[in-house]
């Protein structure tokens, strides 16, 4: 049914406004387009006035200058009191997010009780993403998508702000930011190639059965999944994708120079020496992944133009 909130253009054509609002980068892009404001005034106003953080932060006036009282993310609304309806997965993500931040607050208060010299000199949580996946049975990519959708800062940024309050420079958040920017750059690189080859048949960040696929071609039954390196392969994610779309093949897009075609048992790359060295070192790895065990017998084929692999 067509309504004022139906999207009739772009990659979200046919979707509702609520779906588009989750893609904050796309919303930012739309707000920069003159045609959007001119031709879609209602949608423009809804996107412009939407601030997802208000659903999660207590809107109370801070009457003191105390950091512990006034820091917004130390004043999150409890999951039980949320006035926004979340999916089951998003709600579990938020519960975990609140739990981790509460543990961080407790560390600071404990340092206050112990009369530590700098109470904000706390250690970042260790293996918190692994704990999330183990405790909630949800992939870390789902947590990332939830935080991005509602513009909630990731834990490294929370730690960076706390340490900054104590006059400490925290490099962890900067490393996280660099990795994120590199990941977005890589996804953009492959998106341009896939769009040139398959046009509108390529779906980006396609969500299905609680899975978010980097790229999906429904016509060819193909999942394209980006990884910054072979070390970033996630076996649980791989199994989840295969279970969600059993008849689909998965092609891994590595860095900006490699494509792993599982069905053909081939590694196509513009840099064969790099991947040959990785293969040769697999027997020496302390813990090899499922993908490592597969590709150790794969043939490496040099290709000068990655574009030629598609279509």
Residue 61, pLDDT score: 65
Residue 55, pLDDT score: 94
Residue 309, pLDDT score: 84
The angle formed by the CA atoms of residues 48, 52 and 58, to the nearest 5 degrees, is: 125
- Retrieve residue 123's tokens: 């250690």
- Domain interval for residue 196: 182-309
186 and 304 together in one domain:
yes
The count of structural domains within the chain is 3
268 and 278 together in one domain:
yes
Q: Is residue 175 part of a domain?
A: no
State how far the Cα of 75 lies from the Cα of 236, in Å rounded to an integer.
34
pTM of the entire structure?
Answer: 0.65
188 and 301 together in one domain:
yes
State how far the Cα of 259 lies from the Cα of 265, in Å rounded to an integer.
11
- Cβ neighbours of residue 283 under 8 Å, at least 6 residues apart? 296
86 and 155 together in one domain:
yes
Residue 62, pLDDT score: 74
127 and 88 together in one domain:
yes
Under-50 pLDDT residues of the chain: none
Residue 110, pLDDT score: 94
Q: Please give the full DSSP string across 170-228, using - where no structure is assigned.
A: -HHHHHHHHHHHHHHHHHHHHHHHHHHHHGGGEEEEEEETTEEEEEEETTTTEEEEEES
pLDDT digits (tens, 9 = 90+) for 92-148: 999 999 999 999 999 999 999 999 989 999 988 888 888 888 888 888 888 988 999
């Amino acid at each position: 049914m067509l309504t004022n909130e139906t999207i009739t253009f772009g990659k979200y054509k046919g979707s509702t406004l609520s779906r588009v609002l989750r893609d904050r980068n796309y919303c930012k892009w739309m707000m920069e387009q003159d045609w959007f404001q001119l031709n879609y005034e209602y949608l423009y106003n809804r996107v412009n006035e939407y601030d997802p953080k208000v659903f999660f932060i207590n809107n109370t006036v801070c009457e003191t200058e105390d950091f512990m009282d006034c820091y917004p993310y130390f004043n999150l609304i409890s999951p039980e009191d949320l006035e926004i309806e979340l999916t089951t997965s998003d709600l579990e993500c938020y519960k975990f997010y609140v739990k981790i931040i509460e543990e961080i607050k407790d560390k600071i208060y404990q340092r206050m009780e112990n009369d530590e010299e700098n109470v904000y000199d706390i250690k970042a949580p260790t293996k918190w993403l692994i704990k999330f996946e183990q405790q909630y049975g949800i992939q870390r990519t789902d947590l990332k998508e939830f935080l991005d959708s509602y513009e909630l800062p990731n834990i490294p940024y929370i730690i960076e702000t706390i340490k900054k309050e104590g006059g400490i420079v925290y490099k962890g958040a900067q490393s996280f930011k660099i990795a994120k920017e590199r990941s977005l750059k890589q996804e953009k690189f492959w998106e341009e190639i896939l769009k040139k080859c398959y046009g509108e048949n390529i779906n980006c960040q396609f969500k299905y059965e609680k899975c978010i696929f980097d790229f999906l071609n429904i016509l060819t039954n193909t999942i394209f999944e980006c990884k910054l390196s072979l070390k970033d392969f996630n076996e649980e994610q791989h199994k989840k994708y295969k279970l969600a779309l059993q008849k689909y093949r998965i092609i891994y897009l590595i860095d900006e120079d490699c494509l792993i075609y599982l069905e053909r048992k081939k590694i196509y790359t513009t840099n064969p020496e790099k991947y040959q060295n990785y293969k040769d070192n697999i027997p020496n790895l302390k813990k090899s992944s499922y993908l490592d065990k597969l590709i150790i017998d794969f043939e490496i084929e040099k290709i000068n133009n990655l574009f030629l692999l598609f279509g």
